[in-house]
A and B are shown apart, each in its own frame.
Chain A
Amino acid sequence: MARLTEENVRLAREIIGRYPKARSATIPLLHLAQEQDGYVTNEAMSHIGELVGASSAEVFGTASFYEMFKFEPVGKYLINICGTMSCALLGAEELMHHAEERLGIKMGSTTADGKFTLERAECQAACTEAPCLQVNYRYRYRVTPDQLDSLIDDLSAGNLSSEIPAHGVVSSVRQHIPADRAVGAVAPELVTENPVWLDGKAAL
């Protein structure tokens, strides 16, 4: 597949510029690649390596540690059903079983039409709203099997496309630091003095 597009390279350079060391941008750039292609391709990982000064193996070494990065295509909608304690106490197993029956696939696989991937997820920090799930990292709380059915219906019909972007896009808002307001990142070895405001006087 693809290296990063011209526009994404511009974004990548902007992101890299915020860090004292380029390597720190590795995970944000992997997200950018996944946003572009829906998963992280080998070509994108070599490209990211070139941009941050690492080998493609090093980039893959980092990427493969993290659950969210996929190295082969997944469904347009990734449904993560939480199975950790609070959700398990309130019916997560039944919900997973129902999802498998409804979509005709097992947890960890994708429907033949490429629309849905089912995954068993670990604690999603919505424990009071159990059982919960995420569709492309957008929450659904206290989900009953019936609600899961109508969610799948809605997703299939494209009714939720404005709320839930295709897999790969996590945050739909990007940070932008205006040039005239930026302090700028400096490599740590180039900083030898204390910050100017530590002069024992008030800053204002």
Chain B
Amino acid sequence: MTGGTWKHAPGFYVGDRPQVVTSRFQYEDSYTLERYLATDGYKGLRSALARPANEIHDEVRNATVLGRGGAGFPAGNKWGLMPQGVWPRYLVVNGDESEPGTYKDRLLMERDPHQLIEGCLIASYAAGLSQCFLYIRGEMALAQERIATALNEAYAAGYVGKNILGSKFSLDIVLHWGAGAYVVGEETALIESLEGNRGMPRLKPPYFPAANGLYGQPTIVNNVETLANLPWLLNNGAAAYTAIGTATSPGTRMVAVSGHVNRPGVFEIINGITTFRDLLYGEEFCQGIRNGNDLKAFVPGGGSAPWFTPDQLDLPFEASQVGPAGSMLGSGAIMVMDSTTDIPRAALTLTRFYAHESCGKCTPCREGGTWLERILSRVVDGKGTDADLDQIFEVGESICPGAFPHASNEKLGIAAVPFPYRMNTICFVGPSAYAPVHSALTLFRSEFDARIVKRTMIKVTAVSE
């Protein structure tokens, strides 16, 4: 079978590939406790509780479960960053999925909430976390309903709460939900929001909430997909997990491909191996560009990522190769633009997003993002000047000083500037406003030039003759 789908899992396609986190999507009732228990549910928890907590932590560390939220930091190492002997420690689950192009955590929450809950239990047991807060994006009504229902079932059945499965392990999992703010996906902003404040990122250092997080206590913030990997890992072991994918990127990854492809979809792919060409053109994935058009450009890792062109199609979905090529894998979201795309307008939709979502804490982002949006709008409307294009780079320089990452391009004769960038802001929202317009201008300058009003084009007529 190469790529079936089900009406109840919109956008998801299964293939002949290992399924670590999506194995239950085929069942229409995948979100119920009954189905979960009938398909190995809560077995991973039971086997975890039968071993000492530190062994489970080692298992996760050995499996190198990379964070699936964007930064790709190994979860086992993240847990190890908490200071010794400081209690209590908290788990905050980042379910605030809102990076443009990203659609995977919502599916995992709607289709398999118990898998996420089991992941939270395993993580909390392994890392000694006393309470878990599941922060779900405010706009995701169905995900909230499914998780609330699943938690109610799990509490009643003894999987969550006091003395879980009759053991000495106890944990409350609290469903918390946001109210619409992209920046809250940043982990320190998520914590601020969970404390009842405006969701603004905290000053760094400390760089990790593991040192100082919720209520000033050691806190682990993990992405939904990261935690959803843990039940399978406990059922099958670290060796089976690392047998999938590559040494540096083991396991699978959820990837959403959207835009101008024949079959936009969400796929669980083998980490580190699958190339962008496979994803965009493969029969089991997106089956080529719509209407037989040519590919113009694609965003490889969520709206924040610098763009790629057909030159980069053969890169695998592997951070150690995508970084040096000038971009990032981010949250597993690819957006595809075909030859009919108006590049300046496409860049504007993303820059406008980040300008709109700036929390206002850092000046380069608050002012710079808005400037970028305004200048770009002017250019798109045909009212821009040459000076406007220079100004875009100047504003960008004030957000991210120095060379900004971009892809190489053979036709233009430019070499790649590797990821990451330097930044004058606390978090990535500011640089993200710049990334799309920087990529667009660097790779498709002629489209901007064509929209620029030149002095020589203005016909000056005398006021009186």
Chain A residues with CB under 8 Å of chain B are 18-21, 23-28, 30-31, 52, 54, 61-63, 65-69, 80, 83-86, 88-90, 121-130, 134, 136-139, 141, 170-178, 180-186, 188, 191-198, 200-204
* B359: A residues at CB distance < 8 A: 65
* Shortest CB distance B461–A (Å): 36
Cβ contact within 8 Å between A181 and B198: no
Which of these, B144, B160, B196, contacts A23 with CB under 8 Å?
A: B196
Is residue B225 contacting chain A, with contact meaning CB distance below 8 A? no
Considering the complex, which residues of chain B in the window 187-246 have a beta carbon less than 8 Å from any beta carbon of chain A?
193-200, 215-217
Cβ contact within 8 Å between B145 and A173: yes
How far, in whole Å, are A54 and B195 apart by their CA atoms in the complex? Answer: 12
Cβ contact within 8 Å between B172 and A177: yes
Cβ contact within 8 Å between B177 and A171: yes
* Shortest CB distance B248–A (Å): 27
* A203: B residues at CB distance < 8 A: 49-50, 53, 125, 167-169
Cβ contact within 8 Å between B174 and A175: yes
Is residue B186 contacting chain A, with contact meaning CB distance below 8 A? no
How far, in whole Å, are A80 and B140 apart by their CA atoms in the complex? Answer: 13
Cβ contact within 8 Å between B152 and A175: yes
Cβ contact within 8 Å between A89 and B215: no
Cβ contact within 8 Å between B98 and A123: yes
Cβ contact within 8 Å between A129 and B88: no
How far, in whole Å, are A48 and B138 apart by their CA atoms in the complex? Answer: 19
Is residue B319 contacting chain A, with contact meaning CB distance below 8 A? no
Number of interface residues of B (CB under 8 A): 94
Chain B residues with CB under 8 Å of chain A are 10-11, 46, 49-54, 85, 87-88, 97-103, 105-106, 125, 128-131, 137-142, 144-145, 148-149, 151-152, 155-156, 158, 160-162, 165-172, 174-182, 193-200, 215-217, 256-260, 264-266, 299, 303, 333, 335, 337, 341, 345-346, 349-350, 353, 356-357, 359
How far, in whole Å, are A185 and B214 apart by their CA atoms in the complex? Answer: 14
Cβ contact within 8 Å between A197 and B172: no
Work out how many contacts link A and B, with CB atoms closer than 8 A: 257
Cβ contact within 8 Å between A170 and B52: no
Cβ contact within 8 Å between A89 and B179: no
* Shortest CB distance A26–B (Å): 3
* Shortest CB distance B279–A (Å): 12
How far, in whole Å, are A151 and B341 apart by their CA atoms in the complex? Answer: 29
Which of these, A26, A126, A181, contacts B196 with CB under 8 Å?
A: A26
* A134: B residues at CB distance < 8 A: 139
How far, in whole Å, are A184 and B162 apart by their CA atoms in the complex? Answer: 9
How far, in whole Å, are A185 and B90 apart by their CA atoms in the complex? Answer: 11
Given contacts A130-B259, A178-B161, 8 further A-B contacts (CB under 8 A): A128-B266, A134-B139, A136-B141, A170-B141, A177-B155, A178-B155, A185-B172, A203-B167
Given A123-B353, A177-B161, A202-B50, are A25 and B196 also a contact pair (CB < 8 Å)? Answer: yes
Given A27-B177, A84-B303, are A128 and B103 also a contact pair (CB < 8 Å)? Answer: yes
Cβ contact within 8 Å between A196 and B168: yes
* B216: A residues at CB distance < 8 A: 188
Cβ contact within 8 Å between B100 and A85: yes
Cβ contact within 8 Å between B131 and A185: yes
6 closest residue pairs by CB, A with B: A67-B180, A26-B196, A66-B179, A181-B161, A171-B144, A23-B196
* A128: B residues at CB distance < 8 A: 10-11, 103, 256-258, 264-266
* Shortest CB distance B262–A (Å): 12
Residue ID in chain B nearest A196 by CB atoms: B168
Cβ contact within 8 Å between A19 and B174: yes
* A191: B residues at CB distance < 8 A: 87-88, 130
Which of these, A84, A182, A200, contacts B172 with CB under 8 Å?
A: A182
How far, in whole Å, are A138 and B196 apart by their CA atoms in the complex? Answer: 25
Given A86-B101, A90-B259, A129-B10, are A186 and B139 also a contact pair (CB < 8 Å)? Answer: no
* A178: B residues at CB distance < 8 A: 155-156, 161
Q: Can you name 26 A-B residue pairings with CB atoms under 8 Å?
A: A19-B174, A23-B197, A25-B196, A52-B196, A65-B198, A67-B179, A68-B139, A85-B259, A86-B258, A86-B264, A122-B353, A123-B303, A124-B139, A126-B10, A127-B103, A128-B266, A129-B10, A171-B141, A171-B144, A171-B145, A171-B148, A172-B145, A176-B155, A195-B88, A195-B129, A202-B52
* B335: A residues at CB distance < 8 A: 85-86, 89, 127
* Shortest CB distance B369–A (Å): 13
Residue ID in chain B nearest A171 by CB atoms: B144
Cβ contact within 8 Å between A175 and B151: yes
* Shortest CB distance A203–B (Å): 4
Given A27-B179, A66-B181, A197-B167, are A88 and B349 also a contact pair (CB < 8 Å)? Answer: yes
Residue ID in chain A nearest B290 by CB atoms: A90
* Shortest CB distance A58–B (Å): 8
Residue among A54, A194, A201 having the largest count of chain B Cβ atoms under 10 Å = A194
Given A85-B346, A127-B335, A181-B155, are A24 and B196 also a contact pair (CB < 8 Å)? Answer: yes
* Shortest CB distance A148–B (Å): 18
How far, in whole Å, are A194 and B53 apart by their CA atoms in the complex? Answer: 12
Given A171-B144, A178-B155, A203-B169, are A89 and B341 also a contact pair (CB < 8 Å)? Answer: yes
* Shortest CB distance A195–B (Å): 5
* Shortest CB distance A168–B (Å): 12
Residue among A23, A136, A177 having the largest count of chain B Cβ atoms under 10 Å = A177
How far, in whole Å, are A54 and B197 apart by their CA atoms in the complex? Answer: 11
How far, in whole Å, are A63 and B341 apart by their CA atoms in the complex? Answer: 38
How far, in whole Å, are A126 and B160 apart by their CA atoms in the complex? Answer: 30
* A193: B residues at CB distance < 8 A: 87
* Shortest CB distance A139–B (Å): 8
* B349: A residues at CB distance < 8 A: 83-85, 88
Cβ contact within 8 Å between A86 and B198: no
* A69: B residues at CB distance < 8 A: 179-180
* Shortest CB distance A89–B (Å): 5
Which of these, A130, A170, A201, contacts B177 with CB under 8 Å?
A: A170
How far, in whole Å, are A186 and B217 apart by their CA atoms in the complex? Answer: 13
